[in-house]
Amino acid sequence: MGRLDGKVCIITGGTTGIGLGTVEVFAKEGATVIVAARREAEGQALAARLGPKVSFARIDVTEEADWTRLIADTVKAHGRIDCLFNNAGVPGPQGGIEGIDMAHYERCFAGLCRSVVLGMKHVAPVMKRQRAGSIINNGSVAASRAGLSSSMIYSMAKAAVVHITTCVAMELGEHNVRVNSISPGGIVTGIFGKAFGIDPKAADRTAETVEKALATVQPIPRAGRPEDIAHAAVFLASDESSFINGHDLVVDGGAVGGRMWTMQQEGLKAMGAALRAAAG
């Protein structure tokens, strides 16, 4: 038996990166999965590859009409919605506060925050009627630490996502609907290339470069992978987490824990040597 047997799950941004990895793991765990994304060719191919319990629904997560249709179609087809993973995301504008392009700022907040609000708004009535459900929002370690994203606007938007997760958890928890977030650290996906202006399809081919760059930035000596987030999402979608609500689950190999041990020890040695030299 799979950990998600019998559960109907919507995963946004499910054709690439973390979303793709999560679709694959959810399907393996027995879920009925609706891949909600913009890339129709990739989505249809993914559904065909994973079998009849996986389907594709084209959606722009920033458009409310698309959410209305997606939720209604899912309930009509399956009778319920057990999990919504608000995973879809976009990179944010780089640069300092003085040079922020406000049009890009608005697109970033729409893709990262408005989309999450819309998803929760439209799935909440369904889950409240069921008296059951799990909403998972994709946050980021950049939500709580400066300097962990190439964009301060991305960090700001993710901080909003993590906080609104807590706020909505307090409301919907009274109806036995759980709302939690996952905050990934450095995960090997195309979003890094996209942040530098690389075409999305080409950015997806930069994984090897990204993996090497991320392998040494946290105590666990490897880069994070989409399946690391997917397995965390399985836990939050399953009944195993039925008493977890309003929580931000950080999956980052220990990156936000503080200064890395070896770096600290080398710094202490250098400081000690300098102090001894100064003392004569």
* 105 classed as catalytic: no
Catalytic residue among 56, 67, 109, 154: 154
| DSSP category for residue 30 | T
Count CB-CB contacts under 10 A for residue 222. 13
How many C-beta neighbours within 10 Å does residue 235 have?
16
DSSP characters over 76-143 = HHHS---EEEE--------S-GGG--HHHHHHHHIIIIIHHHHHHHHHHHHHHHHT-EEEEEE--GGG
Q: Are strands 8-12 and 32-37 parallel, antiparallel or unpaired?
A: parallel
Integer-rounded Cα Rg, in Å, for the chain is 20
Just list the catalytic residues.
154
